[in-house]
Amino acid sequence: MSDLLSRLKPLVLCISLFLPVGAWAAAELNNADAVIVLNRMSAAAKQNDFQGLFTHQHGDSTETFRIVHVGSESLEIERRESLDGPRREYYRKGDQVSVYLPSKRAVSLDRRFSSKLFPQHLPENADFVLLNYRLKKGGMERVAGLNAQIYELEPRDIFRFPLRLWMHTDSGLILKSERLGPYAQPVELFVFSALALGKVDRALLNPVNPLRPVVIESNQGAVSEPVEPAWAIGHLPRGFRFMKSIQRTLVGKEMPVVQHLYSDGLVTVSVFLEPAVAEAKEGASHQGAMHMQVRQINGKMVTVLGEVPAETVKAFAFAFQPR
Amino acid sequence: MREKLSALMDGELDVADIDGLLAEMKRDVSLNENWYDWHQLSDSMQEHPLLSPQFMERFSARLAAEPTVVAPQRLKRSSVMKKLLIPLTAAASIAFVGVAAWQTQTSFSVAPAMVAVQSVKSVDQKTPAVRAYLAAHSQESGNVLAERDIVYADFGMENLR
């Protein structure tokens, strides 16, 4: 018997290597509790009055923004301005958005995405998010001098990246948000460096740059089927839903490009469909968590872009077949 | 309809009703989504492992390439050894699936290094087009303030095999 055991020992060792190891020791919340936590975070970002400074770190760039938000009145008002880099400003009153951007390109926004900026970047539909992610509760940490509870949205499969959130224990506001990338290392970070909750000075809401209004598309968020006569769409990575299709002209392109937008509740993936371009090569590339896959087939080209793993953009690219 | 769908998932739907339900699923997108969502939920609850997208393709190709052994060599081992071999082969196939799943996990943590090395070539030529895609993507995702990221976008291209 001991002989048999010693024979099996390497095998047991070998199998145990494949057992999942919890690198981030945290308790998983059940579905009902997870919905409550996520809804608390998104409600706090809408309903609170606050002003503060937050830093956005992405790739090699670090930028600081000032944010002033009024949510306690009937109409939500919000102003953001960049404090370094090119001047940018964003002003939102209810559903009306105006911006100041260095480039003169036309900007239009979808109503569903017009208020998705930090710390309000959690979706309204917690159930849809929880189909694709588990919510785990971690330890406590201090952010901007405030006590925060750490949570992690951990993907249920290989098609997405984790997102860590630091929630202010008193107000429920997200104080810090960290997206992890391919090496499970942080690739994008939003973090408050100063935050004052409660009534804000109304003068801080006045724009400092000449703003121009942004066209808001009145798409109410109805999930529809993609209509694409030139392409057959096969199996897409699980958990992604078609959001909308836009025809647009991109800089440096003569032909209009069709852009499909898919979402898993937390991140969006864009699929660009167009005629093949002679100089464009097939391949995969990435920067931080943003992955891209280009595929040319039968005189047509698919370009997929999103803050999702290489596996996901590849699966998207190979799901599109010219008819 | 939802009750029927749930019954079909559990294998409890009458055969007579199946055709009608399938026709309804083809017509109604939301039924189809329910079908996928419920299966996804049950898969994740039962913790079924997910294989890489091209797993079946690669597996079939490798299986086709395996030579067919017409007369396998007789195992010159005791019957005790034979009994032991059966669970061993089962364990080996489990280990194989484990390896396959594990490799897909690591393959994307290895890939970025490759990209970094290969991204040197023709970056200047490619970036304007990439920036246009990136700008369109971040605008649709709602982040109009991300212009700086787009300006500094520095995607390289890694050629496919």
At position A239, the amino acid (one-letter code) is G
pLDDT band at A10 (very low <50, low <70, confident <90, very high): low
Q: Which residues of A touch B147 (CB under 8 A)?
A: 86, 88, 101-103
Over residues A275-299, mean pLDDT? 83
* Bridge-based pairing state of the strands A215-217 and A231-233: unpaired
Q: Are A27-214 and A231-322 in the same CATH fold?
A: no
Backbone angles phi, psi at A178, to 5 degrees: -130, 120
Q: Under an 8 A CB cutoff, do A99 and B144 touch? A: yes
Q: Which of residues 29-68 of B touch A (CB under 8 A)?
A: 29, 33, 36-37, 40-41, 44, 50, 52-54
Give the number of A-B residue pairs with CB atoms closer than 8 Å.
Answer: 174
**Average model confidence (pLDDT) for chain B?**
62
With CA atoms as reference, the chain B residue closest to A30 would be B45
Backbone angles phi, psi at A144, to 5 degrees: 50, 35
B85 CB within 8 Å of a chain A CB: no
Task: Give residue A32's pLDDT.
Answer: 93
Find which of B77, B127, B137 to mutate to test the A interface (most A CBs within 10 Å of its CB).
B137
At position A68, the amino acid (one-letter code) is V
Q: Is the pLDDT of residue A92 over 80?
A: yes
Task: Give residue A47's pLDDT.
Answer: 93
pLDDT band at A69 (very low <50, low <70, confident <90, very high): very high
Over residues A3-32, mean pLDDT? 61
Homologous superfamily assigned to A231-322: MucB/RseB, C-terminal domain (3.30.200.100)
Q: Is the pLDDT of residue B102 over 70?
A: no
* Least confident residue range of A16-30, A96-110, A282-296, B36-50: A16-30
Highest mean pLDDT among A107-111, A251-255, B34-38, B61-65: B61-65
Q: Under an 8 A CB cutoff, do B95 and A14 touch? A: yes
With CA atoms as reference, the chain B residue closest to A106 would be B139
**Segment A192-233, tens digit of pLDDT:** 999 999 989 999 999 998 888 887 776 554 555 666 778 888
Q: Under an 8 A CB cutoff, do B148 and A286 touch? A: no
Q: Is the pLDDT of residue A142 over 80?
A: yes
Cα A181 from Cα A163, distance rounded (Å):
9
With CA atoms as reference, the chain A residue closest to B157 would be A285
What are the residue boundaries of the structural domains of chain A, listed by start? Answer: 27-214, 231-322
Continuous segment of H or E residues that includes residue A65: strand A61-70
Task: Give residue A213's pLDDT.
Answer: 86
Over residues A295-313, mean pLDDT? 92
pLDDT band at A302 (very low <50, low <70, confident <90, very high): very high
Query: Is residue A130 within 8 Å of residue A35, measured between CB atoms?
Result: yes
Cα B161 from Cα B138, distance rounded (Å):
30
Task: Give residue B113's pLDDT.
Answer: 33
Cα B75 from Cα A77, distance rounded (Å):
79
DSSP string, B78-127: -HHHHHHHHHHHHHHHHHHHHHHHHHHHHHHHHHHHHHHHHTTTTHHHHH
Q: List C-alpha distances in Å: A64 to A55, A101, A196, B143, B151.
A: 4, 16, 16, 15, 17
* Bridge-based pairing state of the strands A50-58 and A212-213: unpaired
Closest Cβ opposite residue A80 in set B131, B145, B153: B145
Percent of chain A with pLDDT over 70: 84
Backbone angles phi, psi at A73, to 5 degrees: -100, 175
Q: How distant is the Cα of B64 from the closest Cα of chain A, in angstroms? A: 23
Task: Give residue B112's pLDDT.
Answer: 36
Q: Per the structure block, which two tokens stand in for A88?
A: 């940018």
Q: Under an 8 A CB cutoff, do A237 and B102 touch? A: no
Q: Which fold would CATH assign to domain A27-214?
A: outer membrane lipoprotein receptor (LolB), chain A (2.50.20)
Quote the DSSP letter at residue B10.
Answer: T
Q: Is the pLDDT of residue B52 over 90?
A: no
